[in-house]
Structure 1
Amino acid sequence: MKLDKMVRSVYPKLMPYVAQLADLPVEEMKQALGKDTVYKLSFNENPLGPSPKAVEAMQKALLDLNLYPSSNGEAVISRLAEKEGVQKENLILSNGADEMIVMVAQTFLEPGDEVVMPHITFVQYLASAHLMGATPVLAPMKDDLGVDLDAILARITPATKLVFLCNPNNPTGVAIPADELRAFVEKVPENVLVVIDEAYHEYAVDPEYRTSVDMVGQGKNVFVIRTFSKIYSLAAARIGYGMGPSAIVDAINHVRPPFNVNSIAQAGALASLDDTAHVTESQAINQQGKELITRLFDELGMKHLPSNTNFVCVDTGKDSTWMFEQLAERGVIVRNLAGYGMNTSLRVSIGKPEEMQAFVAAMKEIIEK
């Protein structure tokens, strides 16, 4: 078999998802480390768990597993349109935010096209560009690791089709000020789509941050991505959504597989949207966890970025791989940011109170020794 003659020309640039220690489920982490107790603070998961109303709705939906789901998720889309103040034709569902990113790439990108994105951001944007044979163009960050919109604008050429922004950004947690983002969109050519991933929207606390959904209603060349994986804690169900001008949504629907979001996920999402108390509690737990570990970092003299997410990015001042391994030895798993070129930084997800206390104790022990 001559695989190189069979696969697409972009194949050498496509990297399969290979789970590292920080990516494993807790039970597999325990096996890998040989420990009975492991604290997973690496995947930005909601420690509160899903809404009880969502669980009840999903359990009820199990009785109809013999039936195909709504192809476009009509009930969820109608509820989202009401919540977000857009029209139903401005909405499209996906199998998590990851699929939405891939569908956008499949809709708009061809070999030779360019995709501009910040140098430090969610890796799926880079992967989706490579998938379609397009050229990713990385713009440098600001000195404070904020997204440099001027640098991105300077890299837009006649070959540019997409700009990817994560706001608030992952893995830094920094938000883009709303006025700066709006001014940026006004300067972007009309034939370039600005994709704004707002996966962490509900966690944002920066007073200068605002969602970009209002620009959708104004017909701007903006497509906003959201997910039910974070604040709604439905990561395993895989459901996300996008909002954009109706023509953009219609174009993406041309590549969207039918029944891409299952009935169980749709039921959970619909019930989650009506449980505002669960969202409020999730935000409160998250804020408490952030305050706990940022106080720790201040005590230890470690710089950390302002977080508008459910994680904190911290510069430990030491080799990040060494620090990651030291924490892992103590059963605490975080995200090593060496792969982003941040060789002294870690990303710490906010977990349950006992998980955060375990992280605090482990960090103090490491530093003291």
Structure 2
Amino acid sequence: MAKKTSTSTYQPGRNIEDIQKTYGLKNVIKLASNENPLGPSKKAISAANKMISSMNRYPDSQSSHLKQAINKLISKRNISTDNIIIGNGSNEILELVARKYLNNNSEVLFCKHSFLVYKIISNTMNAKIIESKIITKKGKDFMGIDLESMRSKITKKTKVIFIANPGNPTGTVLSINKIEKFVKTISKKIIIVIDEAYYEYASYYGFKSSISLLNKYNNIIITRSFSKIHALAGVRVGYGLASKEIISNFNKIRQPFNVNYVAQTMAMESLSDEKYLKKSLELNNIGMQFLKLEFKKLGISYIDSYTNFMTVYLGNNAQLIYEMLLSEGVILRPLDNYGLPSYLRVTIGTKDENVMFIKKLKKSLKRLK
């Protein structure tokens, strides 16, 4: 399906203060935006506090120390700091892709039900949006990206392909073998963006990043975020990995001083805090198993997820249940904007948050009977 629509506004998850005021509640939990419920690493917070007195100085425009920290993390991949760009969230990197490669004579391709930002940034460049199909056959790949459908949608005007891996809002993954097989069969002039915002969570379940493909294919860009497992959504920082040529081109069009000192410092410290990251992954897995068991008890189907969220099927009652849960102090994410009005997405929280969510969900389901 080809689409050329007006620019839409991104709608974030409702915030806690808003729900408290609207419903007169004190205890409200937010399970809507896939945030790490542990909050940032204590090492990162401590480092940020030390930076406050330096706020009169402009930050390092190249984010040099953060690049070095990232490079150290992936040093075995033959990638240098020249292959890294730091952004004001990974969304900035995605926007740079659109600004550099898309225009009103080009087409951009991504899977149906993909991250809404792909559509927003493509619309700002007046590019024609082409959406490929998802896998609808029940099984381990259910709701995943259909690469054959994606390949069939490629034309001479296709300039950029966005692949979220893991997917959002589905939580599904593609193997690196499937991705490379796909990359091999298409023009090297097409830029392929692999969005790995949730790759740390997925790695816990055996997922392999596509980072090794960067040394083989100069048309691949990988984006990653510090907003998810690193719990730095509020300071806005992410990064991109690509060929030196692509990174150089991005540096020519990005804003100077695009990432503040606090964001750079907190990201560096979080990368090095292995205990914190391990604790975050373990907490997420415990919560995932708990929710899966509870959903099965309730007869609620869900999409197999490799992330820190689960997308559940609630049929025609999805919106009503979402509103009921809001009134009970539980914020989830409705997915009608993603073309999935029968589903709700729930972030995996702390033990107490997960228990409260299930308790309120049971209450809401009972009210529907």
Secondary structure of the 1:115 match is strand
Given that 2:315 and 2:343 are in contact with CA atoms closer than 8 Å, whether structure 1 keeps it comes out as yes
Superposed, 1:41-60 pairs within 5 Å as 41-60=31-50
CA 1:12–1:155: 2 relative to 1, 3 Å: closer
Given that 1:320 and 1:337 are in contact with CA atoms closer than 8 Å, whether structure 2 keeps it comes out as no
Given that 2:90 and 2:237 are in contact with CA atoms closer than 8 Å, whether structure 1 keeps it comes out as yes
Which of these residues, 14, 17, 27, is aligned with residue 37 of structure 1?
27
In the alignment, is residue 137 of structure 1 matched against residue 130 of structure 2? Answer: yes
Which of these residues, 342, 345, 350, is aligned with residue 340 of structure 2?
342
Secondary structure of the 1:50 match is coil
Q: Which residue of 2 aligns with 1:90?
A: 83
CA 1:208–1:79: 2 relative to 1, 3 Å: closer
Q: Which residue of 2 aligns with 1:110?
A: 103
Q: Which residue of 2 aligns with 1:252?
A: 250
CA distance in 2, matches of 1:30, 1:253: 42
Given that 1:57 and 1:267 are in contact with CA atoms closer than 8 Å, whether structure 2 keeps it comes out as yes
CA distance in 1, matches of 2:10, 2:105: 25
Q: Which residue of 2 aligns with 1:70?
A: 60
Given that 1:14 and 1:131 are in contact with CA atoms closer than 8 Å, whether structure 2 keeps it comes out as yes
Query: What letter corresponds to residue 70 of structure 1 in structure 2?
Result: D
- 1:25 offset after TM fit, Å? 2.7
Superposed, 1:1-369 pairs within 5 Å as 13-17=6-10, 23-85=13-75, 86-143=79-136, 144-204=142-202, 209-369=207-367
CA distance in 1, matches of 2:201, 2:80: 25
Given that 2:199 and 2:207 are in contact with CA atoms closer than 8 Å, whether structure 1 keeps it comes out as no
CA distance in 2, matches of 1:135, 1:84: 35
Query: Residue deviations 1:184-205, cap 9 Å, x none?
Result: 1111211001001000000005
CA distance in 2, matches of 1:208, 1:152: 25
CA distance in 2, matches of 1:109, 1:53: 40
Q: Which residue of 2 aligns with 1:3?
A: none
Is there any run of 5+ residues in structure 1 with no aligned partner, and where?
1-10
Given that 2:10 and 2:116 are in contact with CA atoms closer than 8 Å, whether structure 1 keeps it comes out as no
Instruction: Give the % identical residues.
Output: 33
Query: What letter corresponds to residue 9 of structure 2 in structure 1?
Result: P
- 1:360 offset after TM fit, Å? 0.6
Given that 2:10 and 2:117 are in contact with CA atoms closer than 8 Å, whether structure 1 keeps it comes out as no
Query: Residue deviations 1:215-263, cap 9 Å, x none?
Result: 1123442100001111111110100000001111111111110000001
CA distance in 2, matches of 1:287, 1:141: 26
Secondary structure of the 2:114 match is coil
CA distance in 2, matches of 1:29, 1:184: 44
Q: CA RMSD in A?
A: 1.6
CA distance in 2, matches of 1:280, 1:77: 22
Compare 216-225 and 157-166 and name the one that shifted more.
216-225
Query: Residue deviations 1:158-182, cap 9 Å, x none?
Result: 1011000110000000111221111
Q: Which residue of 1 aligns with 2:139?
A: none
Compare 205-214 and 128-137 and name the one that shifted more.
205-214
Query: Residue deviations 1:6-35, cap 9 Å, x none?
Result: xxxxx981223455xxx2331222112221
CA distance in 2, matches of 1:142, 1:112: 29
Query: Normalized against structure 1, the TM-score is what?
Result: 0.93
Query: Normalized against structure 2, the TM-score is what?
Result: 0.93
Secondary structure of the 2:253 match is coil
Q: Which 4+ runs in 1 deviate beyond 4 A?
A: 205-208
